[in-house]
Amino acid sequence: MRLITQQAAADMLGITDRSVRNMIARGVISGYKVPGVRAVRVDRDEIMGKLKAIPTAVARQEFVYGAPKFNGNVKAAPVGASVVAEVVEEDQ
> Within a domain: residue 17?
yes
Domain that holds residue 82: 57-87
Nearest CA to 6 among 15, 19, 17, 22? 17
d(CA 51, CA 69): 33
Q: Does some domain include residue 92? A: no
Residues 59-87: tens digit of each pLDDT: 555 555 555 555 555 555 555 555 444 44
Separation CA 23–CA 50 (nearest Å): 11
10-19, 27-36, 40-49, 64-73 — which is least confidently predicted? 64-73
Proportion of the chain above pLDDT 70, given as a percent? 57
Looking at per-residue pLDDT, the higher value among 37 and 59 belongs to 37
Number of structural domains found in the chain: 2
What does the alpha-carbon distance between residue 48 and residue 9 come to, in Å, rounded to a whole number? 9
Whether pTM exceeds 0.85: no
